[in-house]
Structures are given as C-alpha cells and as structure tokens.
C-alpha cells in the first residue's frame, strides 16, 4: 500500500509544472514587505476641512473656561487633543489628551471640545468622520 501512495505521489508531481520554491518565497516576501511599508506610511497632511468651533446657532464658540487655580497662580499652558469629529460636527466622546503642558488644563479643554460644534469634513460632497489634533492654548491674555 505504501508503494502505491509513493507511486501516485510521484506521478502527480511529475505532471505539475515545476516552479523553484526560492522564487515563490522571494515573491511572497516582496508582497509582505510592500504591505508593511504601505501600512506605516503617514497620510499626507492637508489643511483640516473643519471650521472653528461654533455654538448651536452657528456663532463662534466662546473660549474654554480657564481653570481658576491656574489663573490665580499665573500659569499658562497648551493642550493638544485628539478628537474624532462625527458627520454632524460634534466631537465623539472618545476624545483624548494627546499632549499637555499641565494636567490642570485637560478637563477644561475636553469640556470645551465636547460642547463645541464643528463643520464636518467632506469627501465627495458627503459628510465624513474626521480624526483631528486640536491645539488649545491657555494664556492669561485670553485663550487662543
């Protein structure tokens, strides 16, 4: 029985067209490397299609509340938030602090973004969700 299996296997491989296994390995490796390179490329940075935050009536949103303890201490700072703006122009609840000079400003910056409305990004005329990094500077002369 073993001899029949060996014969049938030998006949099956003899009819198949021969390809060197090294060539297949090189082609597979090239595809994997190309896919990994494409996955790590950073998308081109374009101007954000969003407008400044507004209130429900479309007026410019007031600046975020400056934390009283930090104002009294004369501390200024900057917070960069990573936020997903949905198709209706609102920040999704998963907004997070990407960078912060002082953790005391984080809560005020997050509250500001969650209450603000943006003009949503558009692709081909359709509103789309957009991931942005929004810098908020807290200065004693006013918030920028």
**pLDDT one-digit tens code per residue, 21-56:** 665 666 666 556 555 554 444 444 444 444 555 555
pTM of the model: 0.57
Structure token pair of residue 80: 């960069």
Low-confidence ranges of the chain (pLDDT < 70): 1-61, 142-144
Pairing status of strand 130-139 against strand 142-143: antiparallel
How far is it, in rounded angstroms, from Cα 57 to Cα 55? 6
Q: What are the structural domains of the chain? A: 2-40 (no CATH), 68-143 (3.30.1150.10)
pLDDT at 42: 44
Residue the block writes with tokens 């935050």 = 53
pLDDT at 63: 81
């Amino acid at each position: 029985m073993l001899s029949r299996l060996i014969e049938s296997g030998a006949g099956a491989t003899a009819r198949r067209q021969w390809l060197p296994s090294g060539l297949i390995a090189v082609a597979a490796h090239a595809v994997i490397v190309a896919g990994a390179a494409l996955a790590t490329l950073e998308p081109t940075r374009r101007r954000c299609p969003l407008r400044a935050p507004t209130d429900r009536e479309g007026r410019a949103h007031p600046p975020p509340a400056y934390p009283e303890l930090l104002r009294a201490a004369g501390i200024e700072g900057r917070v960069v938030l990573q936020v997903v703006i949905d198709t209706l122009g609102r920040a999704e609840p998963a907004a997070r602090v990407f960078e912060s000079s002082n953790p005391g400003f984080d809560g005020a910056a997050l509250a500001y973004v969650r209450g603000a409305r943006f003009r949503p990004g558009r692709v081909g005329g359709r509103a789309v969700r957009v991931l942005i990094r929004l810098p908020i500077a807290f200065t004693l002369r006013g918030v920028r």
